[in-house]
Amino acid sequence: MSSVPLSFPTKPDTLDTLQLLDDEQEWAAFSRPDAQQTGCWESNVLIEGMHCAACALTIEDVLKGVPGVLKAEVSAGSHRAKVVWQSQAVAPSGWMQAVQQAGYRALPANDAFSRERRLVESRKALWRMMVAGLCMMQVMMYAYPAYIAKPGDLTVELEQLLRWASWVLTLPVILFSCGPFFSNAWRDVLHRRISMDLPVALGMLITFVVSTAGTFDPTGVFGAEVYFDSLTMFVFFLLAGRWLELRLRDKTAGALEALMNRLPDSVARLKADGEFERVPVRRLQCGDVIRVLPGEAFPADGILLQGNTSVDESLLTGESRPLTRSAGDEVISGSHNLAAVVRMRVDRVGEQTRFAQIVSLMESASTTKPPLARLADKIAKPFLAGVLVAAGLACAYWWQTDPERALMVAVSVLIVTCPCALSLATPAAMLSAAGALAKRGVLVRRLDAFESLAAVDTVMFDKTGTLTRDAMVLGQVTVRTGQSEQRVLAMASALAQHSLHPVSKALCAAAALAEISPLWRAEKVEEQTGQGVSGLVSLGDASVATKSLRLGSAEFCGLAAADSPILKVHLSDDHGWLASFEFQEDIRPDAAETVAALQHAGISVYLLSGDASDAALRVAEKVGISNVKGHCSPQEKLDFMRQSQVDGHRVAVVGDGLNDGPVLAGAHASFAFGQAVPLAQAQADFLVSGSRLTNVVDSLLLSRRTLAVVRQNLWWAAIYNAACVPLAIAGMLPAWLAGLGMASSSLLVVLNALRLSNDAQFERKT
């Protein structure tokens, strides 16, 4: 994946423009090689011009019909498409042009102008709504006398004048405000297909034609009444609902776009002569030295060489507080430099960066179709066809007694039965939930994982790297008579500073935590791999003799080895044993809280570890887990989980993503945990890139609430149609009220789903 977004023109309609993307060097900007098939690429694109599930199915059919396109998935909720294509058989311009010929537009998902186009689209929608609203109010003024007048109050000439005035004011609504409905409907007719806009446009056209006929020929069959007020009113309601829906959808899309377009376009790179030059980010290579200013994002993964600063990694890891970074520390692409000018060495670029991995996951999730959404999509097209048939039958039934009313009944049926709410019910809720989790550092690989996680009744944890950190912490210290803990810890840390072993790091961290002044100095330090370090340690005071010390295993320190499940490191001098340091695994501070919250939610919690049973039991006791199994190989973990599934349990697995591949793949839902997660994401459904273990609980509770919202949306869509269709067929639902019902149903579904992303905190009780 390229780190520089494409700069597509505002209207990339020409074939020449599309062919710019046929250059293989540009593919990386919106595509990545398919890991499962050689010579194949997976592209993520935005689709403009679609409004419903029927549109999504149409685009999928068009893409699948292009030779060389192996797979296509289009999401009606996010307006994104995932296309898998063979580079030897088709170029990007080929399948993009096919989408364009179908009446839509495909654009690279990280196009730099996507936000500008969304703003232009939103402004146009607002203007159409405002024109419709203004004309509606004026038409209602002219229609009002006809509603309240008694027989004889209005002369024929005055009534006709009011009709003509209403007709004139309705023209801007038809010609301008209704333009997208008519153009999309005409596109469907030309391609012999059906979408949401076709029945809506038919309803508008029929209403205008009937009312126009009544205006031009007041004594004719349609002259009894005109419906310009109803027409302008339901057009206004439809446009208002669509504009609000567009704004709400943009709010969800904005989170993904903010992540994808987080990298700068260019960066200052150090030249051989010591000067800096501005170069595009895509030209960076491993080993380059670059300068990053305050307020800029780091364009690649690397190591700081100069400067001290604080960085914001909240969008990538969920860590809300700024983190301190100094020379020697690692920084990740996509994080923001907040405080000072720094220099860094580039270690990873492009697809190798954590940023690229995270963007890939979010793109994949935004185009995934859960089973409930796929079911709704399958229903959408036949449902729309049924709407046309129902409208025709209702019109035929009423035509025998009242032709004018027959047409308006057909209009009401066409409008009120639009399946927008049905097609938006599932993707709107799940995309909203995925966005809420992304803010907390949890990335969702598959939207349908929400359905699986909501049904989970058992959670199985790995130990190392999941319930515990990779680091060790100092426990009990035993010292020789006449020595103090602080003194021996200071001497040991003087030696440990020269080693990168995890135990040495733990000793240094313990000394720093105890605020022990580093007065002791070590020289002539030697390290024997796997054994320990030795050297001369002095206090810098002539009254204290230099000591020859050894820090390491019992054998290295000349002591008798003893079997013990506890990790011990010893310190010895020329007189023998001086001190022993016991080390324990560093249990995550929120591990006990997480376990308690899961148990409170009715979840059974297990600990499966490859470590010795004693070590697993100690960790389990501290975090509150009673079901423990140690000495587990990956196969034994898998067998244990499968037996639980055979017993009827729905199992979620939480691992570090490194050696738990089989059990993560076999679980109903799975979490890969830790900072290295994006590089070891092969099997997990949820990737916890931050440091909070409580995110597992948040994800589970949110998934339950998400499925509840989905069910609410589906029930609302079903009840709405069940109640309104009979009323429309019976002639009891006027066109304006049908438009209001249709717009309100879609808006209610989106607003209900948006509650999932608006919660500041998830409901969690411990």
SS3 244: helix
Longest Cα separation, the chain: 123
Q: Is the dihedral of CA 142, 146, 148, 150 positive or negative?
A: positive
Tell me which DSSP letter residue 370 carries: -
Task: Quickly state the pLDDT bin for 420 (edges 50, 70, 90).
Answer: low
In a domain, 567, yes or no: yes
Using CA atoms, how far apart are residues 457 and 700, in angstroms rounded to an integer? Answer: 10
For residues 530 and 575, membership in a common domain is answered with: yes
Per-residue pLDDT at 104 exceeds 90:
no
Q: What share of the chain is helix, strand, coil (3-state, %, to 5)?
A: 50, 20, 30
CB 545: neighbour CB atoms within 10 A? 9
Q: Report the chain's mean pLDDT, rounded to a whole number.
A: 77
For residues 576 and 719, membership in a common domain is answered with: no
Q: Which residue range(s) make up the domain with 274?
A: 266-351
Task: Quote the number of domains for the chain.
Answer: 4
For residues 26 and 146, membership in a common domain is answered with: no
Contact 107, 48 (CB under 8 A): yes
Q: Could you tell me the strand order of the sheet in which 669-673 lies?
A: 442-444, 686-688, 669-673, 651-655, 458-461, 604-608, 627-629
Contact 460, 676 (CB under 8 A): no
DSSP 7-68: ---SS--SHHHHHGGGSHHHHTTTEEE-TTSTTEEEEEEEEES--SHHHHHHHHHHHHTSTT
In a domain, 9, yes or no: no
Using CA atoms, how far apart are residues 643 and 638, in angstroms rounded to an integer? Answer: 9
In a domain, 608, yes or no: no
Bridge-partner residues for 105, per DSSP?
48
Q: Which of 555, 556, 553 is nearest to 568 (CA)?
A: 553
Domain boundary (45, 77, 109) is at: 109
Per-residue pLDDT at 64 exceeds 80:
yes
Task: Quickly state the pLDDT bin for 2 (edges 50, 70, 90).
Answer: very low
Q: Which of 266, 220, 206 is nearest to 3 (CA)?
A: 266
Q: What is the pLDDT of residue 11?
A: 46
Q: For 689, how many CA atoms within 13 A lie in the half-sphere containing its CB? A: 29
In a domain, 455, yes or no: no
Of residues 462, 611, 685, 698, which has the active-site annotation? 462
Q: Could you tell me the strand order of the sheet in which 567-573 lies?
A: 468-479, 576-587, 567-573, 547-552, 532-538, 521-528
Domain boundary (82, 109, 136) is at: 109
Instruction: Kindly list the distances between the CA atom of residue 313 and the CA atoms of 332, 336, 338, in Å, as whole numbers in the listed order.
Output: 8, 7, 11
Q: Is the dihedral of CA 590, 591, 597, 598 positive or negative?
A: positive
Q: Which of 618, 725, 632, 699 is nearest to 450 (CA)?
A: 699
Task: Quickly state the pLDDT bin for 542 (edges 50, 70, 90).
Answer: low
For residues 399 and 504, membership in a common domain is answered with: no
Q: What is the pLDDT of residue 679?
A: 38
For residues 40 and 153, membership in a common domain is answered with: no
Q: What is the pLDDT of residue 760?
A: 41
For residues 103 and 130, membership in a common domain is answered with: no
Instruction: Enumerate residues 6+ apart whose C-beta is below 8 A from 494.
Output: 518, 520, 521, 522, 537
Bridge-partner residues for 583, per DSSP?
474, 567
For residues 193 and 168, membership in a common domain is answered with: yes
Within 191-277, residue ranges assigned H as helices are 197-216, 228-260
- Overall pTM > 0.75: no
What's at 317, amino acid-wise?
T
Using CA atoms, how far apart are residues 229 and 236, in angstroms rounded to an integer? Answer: 11
Using CA atoms, how far apart are residues 198 and 384, in angstroms rounded to an integer? Answer: 9
Contact 316, 364 (CB under 8 A): no
Using CA atoms, how far apart are residues 219 and 430, in angstroms rounded to an integer? Answer: 55
Tokens of 190: 């030309």
For residues 251 and 277, membership in a common domain is answered with: no
For residues 64 and 125, membership in a common domain is answered with: no
Using CA atoms, how far apart are residues 745 and 239, in angstroms rounded to an integer? Answer: 13
pLDDT digits (tens, 9 = 90+) for 189-211: 887 777 777 777 887 888 888 88
CATH code where residue 484 lies: 3.40.1110.10
CATH code where residue 270 lies: 2.70.150.10
Lowest-pLDDT choice from 158-167, 247-256, 413-422, 529-538 = 247-256
Using CA atoms, how far apart are residues 416 and 739, in angstroms rounded to an integer? Answer: 6
Contact 384, 194 (CB under 8 A): yes
CA geometry: angle 461, 463, 464, nearest 5 deg: 140
Q: Which of 367, 349, 344 is nearest to 2 (CA)?
A: 349
For residues 130 and 249, membership in a common domain is answered with: yes
Mean pLDDT of 612-617: 76
Contact 707, 454 (CB under 8 A): yes
Determine whether 462 is an active site residue: yes
Task: Quickly state the pLDDT bin for 299 (edges 50, 70, 90).
Answer: confident
With b for 16 or more beta-carbon neighbours within 10 A and e for fewer, the 28-60 pattern comes to bbbbbebeeeeebbbbbbbbbbbbbbbbbbbbb
For residues 122 and 224, membership in a common domain is answered with: yes
Tell me which DSSP letter residue 605 carries: E
Instruction: Kindly list the distances between the CA atom of residue 716 and the CA atoms of 246, 264, 712, 720, 723, in Å, as whole numbers in the listed order.
Output: 21, 44, 6, 6, 10
104 vs 244: which has the higher pLDDT? 104
Within 607-764, residue ranges assigned H as helices are 613-623, 634-646, 661-666, 695-729, 735-758
Percent of the chain with pLDDT over 90: 5
Give the distance, in angstroms, between the CA of residue 148 and the centroid of all CA atoms in the same chain: 54
In a domain, 289, yes or no: yes
Q: What is the pLDDT of residue 169?
A: 92
pLDDT digits (tens, 9 = 90+) for 356-408: 766 665 555 555 555 655 565 566 667 767 777 877 888 888 887 777 778 77
Domain boundary (530, 563, 586) is at: 586
Q: Find tokens 């038809």 and name the residue.
A: 174
Per-residue pLDDT at 98 exceeds 80:
yes
Q: Find tokens 């501290």 and name the residue.
A: 622
CA geometry: angle 580, 585, 589, nearest 5 deg: 125
Q: Find tokens 């030209």 and name the residue.
A: 283
In a domain, 766, yes or no: no
For residues 202 and 248, membership in a common domain is answered with: yes
CATH code where residue 98 lies: 3.30.70.100
Q: What is the pLDDT of residue 518?
A: 62
In a domain, 204, yes or no: yes
Q: What is the pLDDT of residue 3?
A: 40
In a domain, 165, yes or no: yes
Q: Which of 580, 651, 650, 566 is nearest to 615 (CA)?
A: 566
